[in-house]
């Protein structure tokens, strides 16, 4: 004789043979069939339950951790919540900060990603390098420096990890491409 079980997730009727025992996962949706992670709503208000039935609330958390560890999942989400990140710890100042950062990056011509953390970087300013600070190399192929002095760089800063990086200014890029395209 076989026993019938209904999957609480997809509501499919599952028939199993007592010789092999009950299914641990639904063959249709793949979810667990045990009462683990199942919440029942709308019980009788006058009905009281034993502590043994309810279990230890701390035990549930330990079971969940063991399940994550056995499945090979990262427990980084708990660290993420403990460090004050997440939707529950968002306040007006952090939302205003994100809004301001979005408006600034919308106005930039270029918005590079931070090489360290992959966040969008803010344009911090330009720097002219010339005189003794920059001595251009003269290439034998070109017969002149690829980038003559003064050189202008655009600096970017990451608002998350504060990493800085620089790129050539658009005018210096064009000059470099012209000199590389027409070797004398």
Report mean pLDDT in 10-residue bins for the chain, 184 residues: 71 78 77 66 54 49 53 57 58 82 92 91 93 88 88 94 94 91 70
Judge contact between 98 and 91, C-beta under 8 A.
no
Question: Using omega within 30 degrees of 0 as the cis cutoff, is the peptide bond preceding 139 cis?
Answer: no
Contact 90, 97 (CB under 8 A): no
- pLDDT value, residue 17: 72
pTM for this predicted structure: 0.49
pLDDT of residue 72: 47
Phi-psi bin for 110: left (phi > 0), alpha (psi -120 to 50), beta? Answer: beta
CA distance 139 to 146: 7
* Phi/psi-derived region of residue 143, left when phi > 0, alpha when psi is between -120 and 50, beta in every other case: left
Please report which helix (H) or strand (E) contains residue 23, including its range.
none
Amino acid 35: pLDDT = 64
């Amino acid at each position: 004789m076989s026993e019938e079980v209904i999957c609480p997730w997809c509501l499919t009727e599952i028939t199993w043979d007592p010789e092999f025992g009950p299914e641990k996962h639904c063959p249709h949706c793949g979810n667990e069939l045990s009462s683990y992670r199942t919440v029942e709503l709308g019980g009788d208000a006058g009905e009281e339950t034993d502590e043994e039935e309810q279990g230890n609330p701390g035990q549930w958390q330990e079971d969940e951790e063991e399940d994550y560890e056995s499945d090979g999942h990262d427990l980084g989400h708990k660290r993420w919540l403990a460090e004050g990140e997440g939707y529950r710890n968002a306040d007006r100042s952090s939302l205003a900060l994100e809004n301001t950062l979005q408006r600034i990056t919308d106005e930039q011509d270029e918005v590079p990603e931070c090489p360290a953390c992959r966040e969008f970087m803010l344009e911090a300013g330009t720097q002219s390098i010339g005189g003794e600070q920059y001595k251009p190399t003269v290439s034998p192929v070109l017969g002149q420096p690829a980038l003559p002095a003064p050189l202008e760089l655009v600096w970017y800063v990451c608002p998350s990890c504060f990493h800085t990086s620089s790129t050539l200014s658009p005018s210096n890029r064009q000059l470099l491409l012209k000199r590389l395209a027409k070797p004398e």
